[in-house]
Amino acid sequence: MARSSQAIFGLIGAGGHGRETMPFVRAHIAAHPDLGIDVDRVVFVDRQAGTAVGGHLVLAEDEFAAMDAERLFAVAVGQPAVRRAIAERLESARCRALTLIARTATVVDSARVAPGALIAPYALINADASVGRHLIANAHSSIAHDCLVGDFVTLGPRACVNGGVRIGDGVEIGAGALIRQGLSIGAGAVIGMGAVVVKDVAPGATVVGNPAREVAR
């Protein structure tokens, strides 16, 4: 792709999650012409550079970061540590993280969402919740009122975080997991698929089952 002064958007990750995310990326960009991004300036950024995925060119990360244009991006990589490393590299190259919200998602007007979030179809961020940088909220996941969610947190499909929960940076919450109201989930914790969390989770712990029990630290 030739260099240009026109803005370009890069979706980082051309795997399964990236391919699921791209349709609502296109819809979001089409609904926000103020971003100045044409559909042919929407690309994947991945190791498959030089190919095309779903009709979108794939660029290498260093190629994208070096382009002579305004570079906006979001990271469609589920693992929080990997997502953090990529985002920090791109931000240090003066690329700008863009928050992307699917048309059918709901972010209420009192909620606060930091840059870089990917909020998938039918996800919900409810009253006075605050979520950190580069959240991934997969389809049908929900964060209830007054939750405080750190940076680089991943919610799997249909994960449900009830009111007043505090979630540290880099937490992974598996598909269908349920977290009781008012709990604290420490940084780097992993909540297994379908887990029912009824007590606080220590930083770095992995919990599974119903009720959820720690299996690793």
145 is known as an active-site residue = yes
Confidence of residue 217 (pLDDT cuts 50, 70, 90): low
The domains of the chain are located at 8-97, 99-212
Phi, psi of 84 (to 5 degrees): -60, -45
The pLDDT of residue 117: 96
Q: Which residue has the tokens 């919200």?
A: 101
Kindly give, in sequence order, each residue whose CB lies less than 8 Å from that of residue 141, ignoring residues fewer than 6 positions away.
120, 123, 124, 155, 156, 157, 158, 159, 160, 161, 173
pLDDT above 60: residue 29: yes
Q: What is the pLDDT of residues 86-140, one digit of tens each?
A: 999 999 999 999 999 999 999 999 999 999 999 999 999 999 999 999 999 999 9
pLDDT of residue 2: 38
**Which string of b and e fits 176-186 if b means at least 16 CB within 10 Å?**
bbbbbeebbbb
Digit-coded pLDDT (tens) for 132-155: 999 999 999 999 999 999 999 999
**Partners of 172 in the β-ladder:** 154, 190
> What whole-number distance in Å separates Cα of residue 62 and Cα of residue 47?
10
| pLDDT tens digits, 40-91 | 889 999 988 888 888 899 999 999 999 888 899 999 999 999 999 999 999 9
DSSP 107-161: E-TT-EE-TT-EE-TT-EE-TT-EE-TT-EE-TT-EE-TT-EE-TT-EE-TT-EE
CA dihedral 197, 129, 103, 40 (to 10 degrees): -100
Among candidate residues 28, 32, 56, 145, the one labeled active-site is 145
The per-residue pLDDT for range 185-213, each reduced to its tens digit, is 999 999 999 999 999 999 999 999 999 99
Was domain 99-212 assigned CATH 1.10.10.60?
Answer: no
Mapped onto helix, strand or coil, the DSSP state of residue 75 is strand
State residue 1's pLDDT score: 39
Output the pTM of the full model: 0.91
Q: What percent of the chain has pLDDT over 90?
A: 79
Q: Which fold has domain 8-97?
A: Rossmann fold (3.40.50)
